Chain A
């Protein structure tokens, strides 16, 4: 039940650099914590975050346990044309979440 919040301007001028803010719910279990009984809690993190703009990859992030829980990633991209910004987070235990946002570029 992972929710994601994406903040992208709905419209932009052609050539404008836009800021993309993404937030996804995930505990990012490091693999270094121990339970009350001393057992090691296994690692469970998001490992990869990819953003494509009308199918072309424009940003990629490889994440490690040092990324805080509920990963927050802000990056920028050039508003080249109207279309779809698609986001995908993948990780341990088959974690895979996809979201997309429409953008109008004039």
Chain B
């Protein structure tokens, strides 16, 4: 009994000793952990399926909708100019909501308030297309979410979720992604979990998907009851992950295995 407690104590100590932010010089995108062929798929705009959603998003950007009969272009003009850097700065604080919102929520906010149209469902084709189109305009730019006194508490909540042991396996995200990145789990390399390329085309999904979809996948894999789409826990976690990836290059729409 005493030996077991000592062992548990040692493990607890070890975890706290190892757990910590990845030094900036060691920060690597999921891109760097992929095979040469998957990287080539992302780099070639004629081969990257994410570009199909960007193309659809372009169409939606210009389509009038809602009772206000307004298109995104009517307020925002050319997305290549107005949306440049936007995705790389989200989640960002929304005064109306009194909390940070992610890009999908920002788009739906516009739909409801400006276009007077119903919000688009999470992971719906149209929402993915618009998100992909907007995200594409930040490609190549550094990730830079703003943290100030308004968003600090949400960042801390996100960090707490990342470091908290959860679910049937009593696992914390940080245990794999801070302490054991680069090592293998069931034949695949554990990445550092930086959301550098969302929304992205995941080969596993055979379609484009959002960061929240991926986070829910992770939670299921960890045997944790996944939070609902749009849950504050998930948006706070998104905020933390984007902050943790600050300075890294935004790659959307990326391709991942």
Contact = CB atoms under 8 A, between A and B. Distances in A.
Interface residues of B, number: 13
B55 A5 contact: yes
A7 B49 CA distance: 13
A14 interface: no
Given A5-B52, A24-B52, A68-B206, 6 more contacts: A1-B56, A1-B125, A3-B56, A23-B51, A25-B52, A28-B206
27 contacts: A1-B56, A1-B125, A3-B52, A3-B55, A3-B56, A4-B52, A5-B45, A5-B46, A5-B52, A5-B55, A21-B44, A21-B47, A23-B49, A23-B51, A23-B52, A25-B52, A25-B53, A25-B56, A27-B207, A68-B206, A69-B49, A69-B206, A70-B49, A70-B52, A70-B207, A72-B47, A72-B49
Interface of B: 44-47, 49, 51-53, 55-56, 125, 206-207
A5 B51 contact: yes
Interface in A1-24: 1, 3-5, 7, 21, 23-24
Contacts, number: 39
B61 to A, nearest CB: 14
Given A1-B56, A5-B55, A25 B46 contact: no
Contact of B46 (A3, A7, A69): A7
A21 B207 CA distance: 20
A5 B54 CA distance: 11
Contact of A21 (B46, B125, B206): B46
Contact of A23 (B46, B125, B206): B46
Interface centre among B52, B125, B206 (most CB of A within 10 A): B52
A54 to B, nearest CB: 23
Q: Which 4 A-B pairs have the closest CB atoms?
A: A7-B46, A21-B46, A69-B206, A70-B49
Given A1-B56, A3-B52, A70-B52, A23 B47 contact: yes
